[in-house]
Amino acid sequence: MKRAATSAMLALACTSALAAAAGDAIVTTRQASMKEMAAAAKTIAGMFDGKLAYDAVAFKAAAKTLRARTGPALIAEFPSTTLGAPSGAKPEIEYARPEFEALARHIGTLSGVLAAKAERAPAGITDDMRMGSGLVMGGGSLLGKRSGAAEADPAKLPAEHLLHLILQDCSSCHSKFRQKVE
Ligand code: HEC
């Protein structure tokens, strides 16, 4: 009797330990995925800022990384059981799913457009890839009213502008859904 109870308890403990281990693996994976996105965004930003030599192949690879790790893939990385400390994901994600997922999809759409543009990227950086080129910007501020209209069709935006909008989504999500953990 006593033994049965003990083994039942042991089985229970093992199950929750397994669940915890699975959760840990998801957290580790998503943090690695976020780091890859950060490296990819840094690579593209560096090329536009002139800190890195422009390289069409590296641009393409980085844009593909962003596309692969945003949208549905990003959403799938945050199951309910893995939120809160010790991870950097706020428990609030659970109560604000529509907003969290809208952000993930928005950055996914922009990254998809950027990746499609990168697919056809020329061997050298061209003016029409730069921010401020094209009619859509027209000298309006990035955060001004114009960006809303331009976003209606992100395919019309220069690559550099797309990158800036992508980076805004990283920040929007972090300020709302990421927490500092010691
Ligand atoms: C829809 C929300 C969302 C978007 C969009 C998003 N992140 Fe995150 N990011 C998070 C959350 C939540 C965490 C905390 C994850 C954890 O610790 O489990 C995080 C963590 C990180 C980390 C820390 C990873 C670590 O090692 O702990 C980096 C770096 C990062 N994000 C970079 C980026 C970059 C760069 C982008 C944009 C290209 C981006 N993120 C877009 C939600 C988001």
Calculate mean pLDDT across residues 119-133. 91
With a cut of 60, say whether residue 177 has pLDDT above it.
yes
In this structure, what token pair is assigned to residue 56?
A: 């069409």
pLDDT (tens digit per residue) in 71-91: 999 999 999 999 999 999 999
Ligand 1 neighbour 110 (Cβ under 6 A): no
**Which of 16-20, 56-60, 93-97 shows the lowest mean pLDDT across its residues?**
16-20
Does the beta carbon of 178 sit less than 6 angstroms from any atom of ligand 1? yes
- Tell me, using a 6 A CB cutoff, whether residue 35 lines ligand 1: yes
| Residue 177 or residue 14, greater confidence | 177
| Measured distance CA(77)–CA(33) in Å, rounded | 9
Point out which residues pair with 178 in neighbouring strands: 89
Q: Which residues contact 93 (CB under 8 A, 6 or more apart)?
A: 78, 83, 100, 177
Domain 32-177 is found in CATH 3.40.190.10: no
Residue 34 CB–ligand 1 contact under 6 Å: yes
Q: Does residue 138 surpass a pLDDT of 50?
A: no
173 CA to centre of ligand 1 in angstroms: 8
Tell me how far apart the alpha carbons of residues 89 and 78 are, in angstroms, rounded to a whole number: 8
